[in-house]
Amino acid sequence: MTRVMGGGDCRGVWGSASIPTVDTMPTNDGSPAANLGPRLGTGPLGIAVRLVVAPAIMLGANLVVLPLWQIPALARLRAETSPGSLLTAALVTMASWLLVGITMVGLTALWLRLIERRTLRQAGVAFTLRGLTWMAVGLALAVAAVLVGALLARAVAGPDALGGPVSYDGFPLGLLIAYILVRSFVLQGIGEEVVYRGWFMDVLRDRPVAALTVTTLGFTAPHLLSSGGQSGWVERVIYLAMPFGFGLLAGAMVLLTRTVLPAVGVHGGCHIGNAVAGGLFGTDLMSPVAWLAIGGVFVVLGLAVTVVWSRTRLVISG
């Protein structure tokens, strides 16, 4: 299989005929740029630097909204529980998540332009009908993986192994759906997938196995500091089963489909699956048994998609 590395034919990073290669990108003076590669190398040091910058971008984007919550009126609003205050607080929270998502994508686009000398579109971030279809497939797979994993955890350790009860009291259904969708995709899925399965997989586009490995591990490691109901460092390590599993599936689907959107679907679908499981089972999936079971299902799906990609690649190259 011929892999495009930014030069030669005009198929772009994932083989799309509509995406220009780096060779045709203009320089600052408007003249064509010939054979411009990234300013930062793609060896071990270059990848290590990027692995530090990526979580810094995500952290920086989340810190943007901190001053917003220091405004006295908003701080009081978040502490109130009346229906009107709850609605307003939810809307303000969703607006802050939108700001986080825009900042994350914007910082990644800036890094791509200045350091990688590429664009988001060249990195596979393009909202096409094909991509949106694959995004729906990724979402469905992720929701199914969470529910199957939750059922496995219940079967192995009983209902109590899934964590405490979940209550959505006080949230109108429409607001609850909007809240979950914005949190799943705008705050989490889109920005983080643009960083890891977009930028990172584009950087290593000529080494797809390395791209899948680095992005999966690089995405998993920062979750060691996540707040997901862990108690102690042992549980923090066990918790990594979930981000590792859905990160593997997300990366494999990008290799298979050559677009970032199915990874967005997988990422958002994982969070939606958690919310659906909470509604169905009345539990929050915050337990080591649930993390291992759900992560295990994601790993099986990720390996299956990787095998399909590998066989498809062999057929094309043959």
pTM summary value: 0.82
Gap between the Cα atoms of 130 and 315, Å rounded: 22
Beta bridge partners of 32: 26
Q: Is residue 1 assigned to a domain?
A: no
Length of the chain: 318
Q: Is residue 9 assigned to a domain?
A: no
Predicted local confidence at residue 315, as pLDDT: 54
Q: Is residue 289 assigned to a domain?
A: yes
Q: Is residue 5 assigned to a domain?
A: no
Domain of residue 86 covers 22-317
Q: Is residue 231 assigned to a domain?
A: yes
Q: Is residue 108 assigned to a domain?
A: yes
Gap between the Cα atoms of 285 and 304, Å rounded: 25
Predicted local confidence at residue 78, as pLDDT: 63
Q: Is residue 71 assigned to a domain?
A: yes
Question: Structurally, how many domains does the chain consist of?
Answer: 1
The number of CA neighbours under 13 Å toward the Cβ of 7 is: 6
CA nearest to 257, candidates 134, 117, 149: 134
Q: Is residue 10 assigned to a domain?
A: no
List Cβ neighbours of 310 (8 Å cut-off, separation of 6 or more): none
pLDDT tens over the chain, length 318 residues: 333 333 322 233 343 333 333 333 333 434 334 357 899 998 999 999 999 999 999 999 988 877 776 677 666 666 665 556 677 778 888 888 999 999 999 999 999 999 999 999 999 898 899 999 999 999 999 999 999 999 998 888 877 767 666 766 667 788 888 989 999 999 889 999 999 999 999 999 899 999 999 999 999 999 888 776 778 888 899 999 999 999 999 999 999 999 999 999 999 999 999 888 888 877 777 888 889 999 999 999 999 999 999 988 765 544
Question: By CB neighbour count within 10 A (0-12 exposed, 13-18 middle, 19+ buried), where does 302 fall?
Answer: buried
